[in-house]
Amino acid sequence: MDAVLDTDWAAHWRGLVEARQALRAERAPGGDPWAVRAGDFARQVVIPRDWFMSVLEPWLRPTATLIDVGSGPGRYAAPLARRLDWVTAVEPSEPMRDRMPPADNLTVIGSSWEDAEPVPADLVICVHVLYGVADPVPFLEKLERSARERVFVVMRDSPHTIAGEVLGRLLAGSRPREPWLRDLLLLLRQLGIRPDLRLETYESTYRFASMEVAVEQCRHHVGPAWDEARGRAWLEANLRLDEDGSVRYDGGELTSGVLHWTPRT
Ligand SMILES: C[S@@+](CC[C@H](N)C(=O)[O-])C[C@H]1O[C@@H](n2cnc3c(N)ncnc32)[C@H](O)[C@@H]1O
């Protein structure tokens, strides 16, 4: 048995996603796992030297179009609309879509990528979305069909440093990991795709509107292993109050990366 060549990387991916799904005790409110995080997610802004923007830079021009798959509140879609002819954001979570800044050249499709029917664009990006997609092959094939020039997929390639995940590992002893970028590389190679790779290691910081919001989000993230007393005590010891009344968690070093390739056909 050859550990790389004889493994079905799509089945391996599904196993990782299903093990994570089993951690959730209950369905998220309204069935949308992102509803509780949308407000804090929107607070995060793209800094001018954002590493992924620098990877995109050679492809950006005023005549190009782009689809942002799983755009969230528009962390990339909004600044990219200022650099491109047209941006189509695909985002299933209504609270996330509600926080998207409007722009004349930005269309928002309110559905999952699997159900969306966007017209193809020059560029397709998909940033930190694939972790919960159990069946990645049709998802990736659709990214490829929808791009005329280049597909970019960003994922983490080290343990997530968000407070709920760190706390979850502490309270449960261990947690199954999510799919990482290296799993995607092996899956893309299995599909016959030869992507370029760029990895980036950076300091991670997460903001919450208040301590109560942090507790609620972490309770939801940790699932059945949540312990109210230990969870609160850990958050009170590890979150710092900012001047505007919000709290922040410095998660330390995180490695993420992008795999990007020219669509076949
Ligand atoms: C971690 S957020 C990333 C948002 C944005 N791409 C960014 O980097 O700021 C993940 C987003 O992917 C969306 N998402 C999850 N599954 C999706 C799917 N199957 N199709 C499209 N979007 C999805 C979620 O609703 C959420 O807004």
Which pLDDT tens digits describe the chain residue by residue (265 residues)?
999 999 999 999 999 999 999 887 555 667 777 777 777 776 655 555 799 999 999 999 999 999 999 999 999 999 999 999 999 999 999 999 999 999 999 999 999 999 999 999 999 999 999 999 999 999 999 999 999 999 999 999 999 999 999 999 999 999 999 999 999 999 999 999 999 999 999 999 999 999 999 999 999 999 999 999 999 999 999 999 988 889 999 999 999 999 999 999 7
Beta-ladder partners of 116: none
Q: Per the structure block, which two tokens stand in for 171?
A: 């309270």
Question: Which residues lie closer than 8 Å to 240 by C-beta, 6 or more apart?
Answer: 247, 248, 249, 250
Query: Does ligand 1 come within 6 angstroms of the Cβ of 129?
Result: yes
Query: Does ligand 1 come within 6 angstroms of the Cβ of 256?
Result: no
Residue with CA at minimum distance from ligand 1 atom 16: 129
Cα separation, 62 vs 89, whole angstroms: 17
Q: Which atom of ligand 1 is nearest to the CA of 91?
A: 22
Query: Does ligand 1 come within 6 angstroms of the Cβ of 215?
Result: no
Q: What are phi and psi of 264, to 5 degrees?
A: -70, 150
Strands (E), 185-237: 196-208
Say which DSSP state 209 is in: S
Query: Does ligand 1 come within 6 angstroms of the Cβ of 140?
Result: no
Query: Does ligand 1 come within 6 angstroms of the Cβ of 80?
Result: no
pTM more than 0.85: yes
Cα separation, 172 vs 55, whole angstroms: 37
Residue with CA at minimum distance from ligand 1 atom 27: 72
DSSP 71-126: -TTTTTHHHHHTTSSEEEEE---HHHHHTSPP-TTEEEE-S-TTT--PPPEEEEEE
| Angle ∠(252,216,130) on CA atoms, nearest 5 | 60
